[in-house]
Amino acid sequence: MRLSPVDEVWQAMDALRDPGRPGGILAAVGFRLLGEDPPRHSDRTETDTGGLPPELGVHVDALGDRLGAAEAFEELLSRWTEAHARQAEVTPAPVVSLMCALAGSADGTAPDAVLDPACGTGGLLLQAAENGTASLFGQEIQPDLAEVADVRLRLHGYHDVTVATGDSLLEDAHTAARVRGVVCNLPSGQRDWGRSKLGYDTRWTYGLPPKGEPELAWVQHCLAHLDGGGSAVFLMPAAAAARSSGRRIRAELLRRGTLRAVVALPSGSASTHSLGTHLWIAQPSNEPPSSDVLFVDVEPLVEAASENRATGTDWKTVHTAVTEAWRHFRTGAELDLAVSSAVPVIELLDEEVDITPARHVRTDPDETFDPVQLEEDRTHWLRTLAELTDVLPTVREVPAADPQVLVSLEDLSRSGALRMWRGSSAREAPDGAEARVPLLNLIDGQSRMPPGRWTYAPENELISEGDVLVFAGSPQSARPADPREYGAAVGQSITVLRPERDLLDPWFLAGALTGGPGVGRSGTSAGTTGRPSRLDPGRVFLPVREPAEQHRIGRAFRDVARLDELLDQAAEHGRRVARRLADALAAGLADPIDDDRRG
What DSSP string describes 383-429?
Answer: HHHHHHHHHSPP--PPPP-SPPPEEEHHHHHHHTSEEEEE--S--PP
What pLDDT, on a 0 to 100 scale, did the predictor assign at position 282?
Answer: 97
Enclosing H/E stretch for 413:
helix 409-415
Dist CA 533 CA 526 (whole Å): 5
Q: 576-587, pLDDT tens digit by residue?
A: 677 677 767 776
What's the pTM? 0.68
Residue 284 neighbours by CB distance under 10 Å? 23
| Average pLDDT taken over every residue of the chain | 84
Q: What percent of the chain has pLDDT over 70?
A: 85
pLDDT per residue as tens digits for the range 143-153: 999 999 999 99
Where is average pLDDT lowest: 106-110, 266-270, 416-420, 480-484?
A: 266-270
Confidence band of 437 (pLDDT split at 50, 70, 90): confident
Region 520-545 average pLDDT: 62
Q: In Å, how far are 104, 264, 419, 454 from 357, measured between CA atoms? A: 22, 6, 47, 35
Residue 477 φ/ψ, nearest 5 degrees: -90, 0
- CA 234 – CA 116 distance, rounded (Å): 10
pLDDT at 210: 92
- Which pLDDT tens digit goes with each residue over 360-416? 986 554 445 667 777 777 788 888 888 877 777 788 887 766 677 889 999 999 999
Please give the average per-residue pLDDT across 118-128, as a whole number: 96
For residue 528, the model assigns a pLDDT of: 34
Report residue 303's pLDDT band, with 50, 70 and 90 as the boundaries. low
Task: Measure the CA–CA gap between 318 and 310, rounded to whole angstroms.
Answer: 16
Give me the pLDDT at residue 83, please. 80
pLDDT of residue 127: 96
Q: Sign of the CA dihedral 290, 256, 363, 315?
A: positive
Q: Region 188-194: what's the mean pLDDT? A: 84
**Stretch 260-271: mean pLDDT:** 84
Gap between the Cα atoms of 270 and 235, Å rounded: 9
Q: Is 105 exposed, middle or buried (0-12, 13-18, 19+ CB in 10 A)?
A: middle
Residue among 139, 35, 29 nearest 79 (CA): 29
Structure confidence at residue 441 (pLDDT): 82
For the segment 221-261, what is each residue's pLDDT rounded down to a tens digit? 999 999 988 999 999 999 999 999 999 999 999 999 999 99
pLDDT number for residue 587:
67
Query: What pLDDT does residue 17 have?
Result: 78
Q: What is the mean pLDDT of residues 322-334?
A: 94
Rounded CA gap, 111 and 505, in Å?
Answer: 57
Q: What are phi and psi of 278, to 5 degrees?
A: -125, 155
pLDDT the model gives residue 46: 39
More confident residue, 418 or 526: 418
- Please determine, for residue 275, whether its predicted confidence score (pLDDT) is greater than 80: no
pLDDT at site 590: 76
Among the residue ranges 43-47, 171-175, 330-334, 494-498, the one predicted with the least confidence is 43-47
User: In sequence order, what DSSP letters do the residues of 528-571 get, joined into one string?
Assistant: TTSSEEEE-GGG-EEE---HHHHHHHHHHHHHHHHHHHHHHHHH
Helix (H) or strand (E) holding 345: helix 345-348
- Quick count: other Cβ atoms within 10 Å of Cβ 497? 27
The reported pLDDT for the residue numbered 84 is 77
Note the pLDDT of residue 415.
92
The predicted model gives 10-37 an average pLDDT of 88
Residue 316 has pLDDT above 80, yes or no: yes
Percent of the chain with pLDDT over 90: 48
Contact predicate 190/122, CB 8 Å = no
CA distance 593 to 581: 13
